[in-house]
Each structure stands twice: as structure tokens, then as C-alpha cells.
Chain A
């Protein structure tokens, strides 16, 4: 048992959160194992983003604990959580708009870890930009990039902090099929390098395709956890996505 606990990268224990009496997360418990891609699926409003905000310290949980490598990080401020090794790419990209793409990534290189950054941080930043497909746009002010490039920049910047665990929020939203494929390759490659990833997406395709394990969230509760195949076949998941929870109770209307 002890050996198994040690291989836990992130553990959430009984997390609950309400905003103005609206319960967004209800007693959510999850374990993300070291070195896996963990997918979190659920329709819009299921509470995925709030959960991410709690993990990264942007929002305080009402109840529950967040453990990272066995250490309780529940009420740590965001910079400290970053220094501990958790990075995140936001759903709505938040670049430093006046800085160039390169400078954006350099901020991550410089401040992401407590130890002094490697002397070749610029080369490293360029490499990261190339990796997410932003080569040639290093000198463009981030505010002038389009939404997709801003998302890519977000990922490069998060990687620049050299995280152990990377959270990717709604990675596929708005991407073309080709770009989705690229993203899938990037995510898998990162996992193969030893990174642990926690990804969300309300497009099921990508998450189901890349994840090792998946949890389904609906209205703030975990419905089920398992392999992508198991989760998709779970009847409650289907009804959460199809809206048949409502459909079941409705009378037939005349067409």
C-alpha cells in the first residue's frame, strides 16, 4: 500500500466548493498516478475549471485537501504551487500582451523554479516555442497572436516552468482536426518524457484518445473513473452528455 501511495502524483481528498450557495464541486476525490495522462471529462458547467483553479491555488476549496507527491498543498499561494512543480495552461489564454512570445516563455523559465534558471534559458525558450508550433513567431507581441497561437504559447510557457504535473484546460476547443492531432501527439510525447498530465476537454474525442485513465464529472460530482472505454460505456455518462436525464422525464411533444 505504501509503495502505491508513493506513486501518486496528485491526490484530491473530498474537495467541495460552493459559489454563493451554488454547489460547484461536491466531495470530489481523485488520484492521478505518476507518469499518466489523466482525463477529466464532463459537460460545460460540470466543475472542471473550478477544480483546476483549486489545484493551482487560484480558488480556495471550502473543504478537502490537495496533496502533491504526498505533501499537503491545499492553501498554498499560486507561485509556491508553481515552484513545487505544477503548471497549467489556461482555457482562456492569459498572455502578457505587450511581451513577445519569447519573452512570455522566458518569464516561465526565470521564475518557474526556485533554483536559478539555466544560463541558456533563451535557447530553451526558443526550443519550447518550436515544439508547440510557434517557430517564426518568437518576436511577435503575444497580444497580437490569434487565439490558437495564444493557446500554444500558454502551453510553452507552462512547460518553461519545468513542471512535474501539467494541467491542460480545454485543450482542443476551437482547434481544427489537424491541430487536434498535433496536440494529441504533443501530449503523448510529454507523457513519454516522464511528465504527468491532467487534461480536460468537453470535446470527448481528444481526451478519450490520449488518456490512460478518465474521470467523468457532472454537476460537481464524480460519476465514474476508469479506462476511456469503461467510462464512455457508463450509462450515466451518456445521459450527462446527451441530456437524456431530462429527456427521460419529458412527455413526448408533438412535432
Chain B
């Protein structure tokens, strides 16, 4: 009984701390930015993990990210629409590519699927790189409109300029993504994904519509990743193919999810909230270039020494603490 309540209390407490600390500590732009981006990468990790729940290891989520970023940035650039419209619409570019994956990679599993996802990042990247007349080529898109301000009664949320406002926006985004992730684990749909992951043949013979569920997971995953990319374009103000289609973007959600614990509700989020601040606050000042080597090292060590990630390990720690 007590343990059951704890599993609810702990995330709530964490959410409360994440929501309230900026009120206490009013001027901490660096921390707003770092934890805002940690939330952002938390969403990216959740998005990646929804596809992973169906049993796939993707090495190419940068494709959705980049397409979402370019979708929104170009729409905003050519049509002058507000980012409030272009972000959700631009992300559709990522989702469309996701559906294409689902259809083309229908029969690929495991290693072969991983290779296919890795190679498929190159296609949109090279096309955008070379189609200069429309996409501005390798120079990238600059001067992308910042996120619009929002006025709620007397409260003004300057998402374009205030790092604190951005932090709250990204925290909300993470909370929503966390709920979606929870649904993907505990709903009946989630059980279908789990059954497919653990034994696809058995799942199919028990009536689980493997192809349809996998496509749904991929669609959700690619759209969420596209949303991240679109937001990224407006948060940063400039994008270029080498940046948004980089190996780093594909690797990051994988690292964070595997590190945090893939098959647990809060695993990917935990991974993001631990690793990203660690990287930005501790390593980045020491190694301005190359600090991202941390993520590579973390994958290697996690797979070797705790393939389930740290979450089960923390849980064990908690049990010890209580007894």
C-alpha cells in the first residue's frame, strides 16, 4: 500500500520541485536554459522510446527532427505564419517520413532495421543540403521567427525572449509527453506493443495486429520528434542540415532512454534530467568541444554494465533505504 502511494508521490514531488524552483530562484538564466533544454531532450527521449516500446531500436530519429525543423522553419519563412501554427503543421513532415519508414521497413527487424534507420537520415539531409533555391542549402535557414508571446490576463509569457517562460513551456511539453508515454505503457495499446516486443510471432497468433500497432507507435513517435525539431528551429532561430540531421540528435534520445530505463514510465525523462544537466553544467565548461563524448561513453557503459538502465537500480536503492 505504502509503496503504491510512493510510486505516485515521487513523480508528483519531482514535478512540483521542477515547477516551483524558478519562483524561489528568480534570476538564474543559465539554469533556466539548461533545465529547459533537459525537458526538451526528455520529450525527444520519450518520443524515441515510444517506437522502442514496439521492439525497434532506431538510429535515425534525426530524420524526423530535421524534417520537423525544416518544415516549420520554411513554412514560417515563406508564408510568414505564426510559429503557433507552423510548429504543429511543420512536424507533419516528420510524421510523413515516419509513415514512409513504417511501410518500407515493414519486414526489417533488429540490426537490419537499425541500419536502415541510420541510412535513411542521409536522404532528407542531402536533399535539403542540395536544394539551395528552396531550402537555402548548407547555409541553413537564418532569422527564424521566435516563439510568439502569450498574454493570459495580467500574466505575460514572453516565450520568444524570456528563458524562464521557455522553461515553463518546455516543462509543460515534457509533462504532456510523460502522460503520452505513460499511456503507451499501461493502456491496452501499450500491452499490444509490449507483447510485440517480447515475442512478435506469439503476439500475432494471439490476435495482436502487429503491423498496425507498430505503425501507430511510429507515427506518434515521429510526430513528437518532428514537434521537437520544429520547436528547436524557433528556439534557436537558425538551423542547418548538419545540425538538425546530425548523428548526435539520433543518438541523444537513445542514450537518455537506455540510461534512464526504457521500459519504465519515467525512465527516459529521468535520463534526460540527469545526463543533460551533467553534460552542460559540469562537462561543457571544461571541454567546450567534445563534451558530448559523455553520451557515447554512457551508451557503452550502460549496455555493458546495466542494460536495464539506472531506474531499476534507483528503485532498488529506494527499497534499501526504506528497509
Interface residues of chain A, those whose CB is within 8 Å of chain B, are 56, 58, 77-79, 82-83, 87-88, 90, 94-99, 103, 106-108, 110-113, 157-158, 160-161
Contact = CB atoms under 8 A, between A and B. Distances in A.
Nearest to B208: A111
A86 to B, nearest CB: 9
Interface stretch (B196-204, B241-249, B268-276): B196-204
Question: Top 3 closest A-B pairs, CB basis?
Answer: A96-B198, A78-B204, A82-B207
Interface string B205-228: 111111100000000000000000
A95 B263 CA distance: 18
Given A96-B194, A96-B198, A99-B198, A110 B188 contact: yes
Contact of B207 (A98, A103, A106, A111): A111
B202 A96 contact: yes
A99 B194 contact: yes
B106 to A, nearest CB: 12
Interface of B: 188, 191-192, 194-195, 198-199, 201-211, 263
Contact of A113 (B195, B207, B263): B207
Interface centre among B188, B203, B205, B210 (most CB of A within 10 A): B205
A97 B198 contact: yes
B201 A58 contact: yes
Nearest to B192: A111
A88 B192 CA distance: 19
A94 B205 CA distance: 11
B76 to A, nearest CB: 43
B102 to A, nearest CB: 16
A87 B205 CA distance: 7
Contact of A161 (B201, B207, B209): B207
Contact of A110 (B191, B204, B205, B210): B191
Main secondary structure of the interface of B (DSSP, over half): helix
19 contacts: A56-B205, A78-B204, A79-B205, A82-B204, A87-B205, A90-B205, A94-B202, A96-B194, A96-B198, A96-B202, A99-B194, A99-B195, A99-B198, A103-B191, A107-B195, A107-B206, A108-B207, A111-B192, A157-B206
Given A98-B263, A99-B195, A107-B203, 17 more contacts: A58-B204, A79-B204, A82-B207, A87-B206, A94-B199, A95-B202, A96-B195, A96-B199, A96-B203, A97-B198, A107-B195, A108-B207, A110-B191, A111-B206, A111-B209, A160-B206, A161-B206
Contact of B206 (A58, A98, A112): A112
A113 B192 CA distance: 14
Contacts of B188: 110
Nearest to B209: A79
Nearest to B188: A110
B202 A82 contact: no
Given A107-B195, A111-B192, A94 B207 contact: no
Contact of A95 (B191, B192, B199): B199
B16 to A, nearest CB: 32
B47 to A, nearest CB: 23
A85 B33 CA distance: 56
Contacts of B263: 98
Nearest to A96: B198
Nearest to B212: A79
A95 B203 CA distance: 9
A98 B198 contact: yes
Nearest to A94: B202
B199 A112 contact: no
A58 B199 CA distance: 14
A111 B201 CA distance: 14
B206 A82 contact: yes
A90 B204 CA distance: 13
Contacts of B203: 96, 107, 111
A90 B201 CA distance: 10
A139 to B, nearest CB: 16
Contacts of A112: 206-207
Given A96-B194, A110-B191, A111-B192, A77 B204 contact: yes
A94 B196 CA distance: 12
Contacts of B210: 79
B200 to A, nearest CB: 9
A79 B208 contact: yes
B202 A90 contact: yes
B187 to A, nearest CB: 11
Contacts of A111: 192, 195, 203, 206-209
Interface centre among A58, A82, A111 (most CB of B within 10 A): A111
B262 to A, nearest CB: 12
A160 to B, nearest CB: 8
